[in-house]
Copies of this chain bind each other. A is one copy, B any other.
Amino acid sequence: MKAANSKYCQCLYFSSNALARKIEKIANDSWKKVGLTPSHAYLLMLVIEDPGIQPSALVKQLLLTPSTITRLIEKLEQKKLVVRTTEGKLTNVYPTPKAKVMLPDLKECLHHFYQNYSAIIGKEESARLVSSMNKLIDKLPP
């Protein structure tokens, strides 16, 4: 006997992963205009809004590991969008003028992304979902 919904496992593992992959695809499209992946774009926005922000703060805000944050910064540095200064054990990340000029475009992409998904799933529904996901993220171990 097959399950009623045989399209995919009725399991949190696949549901959460599949959803994340699909949303990632929408996000990738939304940020194509600025030639950045969503992760790079979000990190860059945080740097522009808080110049000198440290990798450890980015780790907390983006919920990524320190090594991933380092790699994201490296790429933005290659693209001349940020610069790093290290003093002691601390590193500060600053936006370049080139990056600052991009801010309106970055915000526009963010808006496009929001429009894209809320057009499909509805504004209330998506807000509810984000909120319940965030509650869950807080509950789960780090």
Chain A residues within CB distance 8 Å of chain B: 5-27, 38, 42, 60-63, 110, 113, 117, 120-121, 126, 129-130, 132-134, 136-137, 139-142
Contacts and interface: CB of A to CB of B under 8 A. Distances in A.
A137 B61 contact: no
Contacts of A63: 7-8, 14, 17-18, 21
15 contacts: A7-B61, A7-B63, A9-B42, A11-B110, A12-B117, A13-B27, A13-B113, A14-B63, A15-B133, A16-B20, A18-B133, A19-B136, A19-B137, A120-B140, A121-B139
A62 B8 CA distance: 5
Closest 5 CB pairs of A and B: A20-B20, A15-B133, A18-B63, A16-B20, A22-B140
Contact of A137 (B22, B110, B141): B22
Number of copies: 2
B16 A133 contact: yes
A126 to B, nearest CB: 6
A129 B38 contact: no
A13 B24 CA distance: 7
Contacts of A15: 129-130, 133-134, 137
A121 B133 contact: no
A60 B140 contact: no
